[in-house]
Amino acid sequence: MTVAEQAAGTPAVDDRAPVHTRALIIGSGFSGIGMGIELQRRGVDFLILEKADEIGGTWRDNTYPGCACDIPSHMYSFSFEPKPDWTHMWSFQPEIQNYLLGVTEKYGLRRYVRFGAHVDRAQWDDDEQRWHVFTDDGGEFIAQFLISGAGGLHIPLIPEFDGLDDYLAGDGAAFHSAQWDHDVDITGKRVAVIGTGASAIQIVPEIVKDVAGLQLYQRTPAWVMPRPNNPIPEGMQRVFANVPGTRAAMRAGIYWIHEAVGFAMTKQPCLLKLGELMGKWNIRRSIKDRELRRKLTPDYRAGCKRILNSDTYYRGIADPKTEVITDRIARFTPSGIVTADGRERPVDVVVFATGFHVTDSYTYVDIKGPDGEDLVDRWNAEGIAALRGITVAGMPNLFFLLGPNTALGHNSVVFMIESQIRYAGQAIAAVDRAGAQALAPTRDAQDRYNDELQDELSGTVWSTGGCRSWYLDEHGVNRTLWSGMTWQYWLATRRFNASEYTFTR
Ligand code: NAP
């Protein structure tokens, strides 16, 4: 039975024999879909394990009002699958999800996806030189190569507030921004939004018109730059579709503008003061109240936390129905939220726009390598690290997409994903070429790479900008972002270097 045939039907748990394939991909977001296309192109048999019932990853999960991408769509899309008719420069979630669905159909990938397959552990068998991968419903999959396309922004983080259980037991509703409960009607309700990151600034202006009152709980203000997101005229879309070179030129323009910001973030953080001037102007033009302006003005270097873009956020805040609350949340009650000043505000709906488990997200799958070595234990002890963010010393044939230190603060992660899927594809081909069963990077190559990377990161705005962000782990080490320009990452991954690896025959 081919993998595609096996994947087509999901037999009852008890009847299941282990499913064999050459490569297993976890997740069907941009990473998983891109990797599937790469393996298909290379003729490598593969299967995608997806925990949910549809493809799309973060663009399937995040359906909150106003959800959009903050990187322009002509760049936030596969270079090999351009879409000339993006309706907005910064597209909204449904259009991005439709794009991914379209790519999936075009390449016939759906038949390789096993839905409802939540991977919870993987174990390398040294005798067989194969990964045994287990799903939480008892399924077992055996593969030579294991590729995680799970990414770092898929496990919602809800802080442990005192009294939250009492509130949840009451009549009020509560949900995370990435798990928006569309059955809850917020019209005419008192709504609390907790957090002022990338998700919150899109939610606030979208819901303020409908609610009775909006309490916005801000711990740290964000730098928010102006962003007019008008529809792209149809005439322009036709030009992109029909005039050779125009779409590519658009993509290149977007790419280099973002790289310029990346240069400031990684090499010359002082240049980001220019961005701060624009951010302050953005506040001034929308907010009349001096005290509110003060609350909204960050005291750290722009770029230290993700720079946000919106023409509507401050307008949403200026709405008389919005109250920006900067007192710390002390506790929840069965019907409201009490801040550190002792004041209780009644609330009907709470939206946790409080981000994701990031540096600890890689450990959600229990991965055991040769001799049962636990990758989670190693990473908990040493910090998460990989060679080029993709392969891990001592862990044969294991690949991470958007793994350690390959997320971005300034450009499209789809660009990074494309570099990684190409590299992983080359690595798999190198195993075959060598007549080997497996490869893993040497500890020496991995350590040298990470020493250099951390050295470069120490001068970036993420370390020097005077803020605390999810880019840093609990020891203050940046384990999430790439240290330089994205073309440097492209160069570093363009050719798989076999001398950095050991092969097992
Ligand atoms: P986030 O950037 O991590 O923001 C979380 C917010 O919650 C922050 O304002 C944080 O305050 C606040 N918070 C956390 N714990 C809190 C607590 N105990 N009390 C009060 N406030 C608390 O999360 P996000 O907005 O969901 O965005 C996460 C990432 O997803 C983004 O950086 C971006 O990479 C991605 N994203 C992208 C887009 C896009 O357009 N492409 C859109 C949405 C999200 P502090 O700042 O003080 O920690």
Pocket test residue of 219, 469, 470 for ligand 1, highest count of atoms within 8 A of CB: 219
Say how many Å lie between the CA of residue 124 and the centre of ligand 1. 35
pLDDT of residue 362: 73
On the CB side of 410, CA atoms within 13 Å amount to 28
The whole-number pLDDT of residue 47 equals 98
Which of these, 62, 66, 125, 56, lies nearest to 91 by C-alpha position? 66
Name which residue sits closest to atom 28 of ligand 1, judged by CA: 355
Q: How far is the CA of 354 from the centre of ligand 1 (A)?
A: 5
**Centroid of ligand 1 to alpha carbon of 422 (angstroms):** 30
How far from chain centre, in Å, is Cα 227? 21
Domains of the chain are 3-55+109-155+357-496 (3.50.50.60), 164-229+262-352 (3.50.50.60)
Torsion sign across C-alpha atoms 462, 463, 467, 468: positive
Q: How many CA atoms lie within 13 A of 133 on its CB side?
A: 27
Q: Helix, strand, or coil here: 86?
A: coil
| pLDDT attached to residue 222 | 98
Q: Hey, CA dihedral for 480, 482, 486, 490, is it positive or negative?
A: negative
Segment 70-100, tens digit of pLDDT: 999 999 999 999 999 999 999 999 999 999 9
For ligand 1, atom 10, which residue shows the shortest CA distance?
Answer: 195
Residue 220 near ligand 1, beta carbon < 6 Å: yes
Q: What is the pLDDT of residue 15?
A: 59
Ligand 1 centroid, distance to 305 Cα (angstroms): 9
Task: Give the CA count within 13 Å in the CB-facing half-sphere of 204.
Answer: 31
* Residue pair 48/114 in contact by the 8 Å Cβ criterion: yes
Give the ligand 1 atom nearest the CA of 198: 25
Dihedral angle over CA of 16, 58, 440, 78, nearest 10? 110
Q: What is the DSSP-derived secondary structure letter of residue 408?
A: -
Residue numbers in the chain where pLDDT is lower than 50? 1-5, 7-14
pLDDT of residue 364: 77
Is 312 near ligand 1, meaning CB less than 6 Å away? no
Q: Which two tokens stand for residue 482?
A: 């790439």
Residue closest by Cα to atom 37 of ligand 1: 198
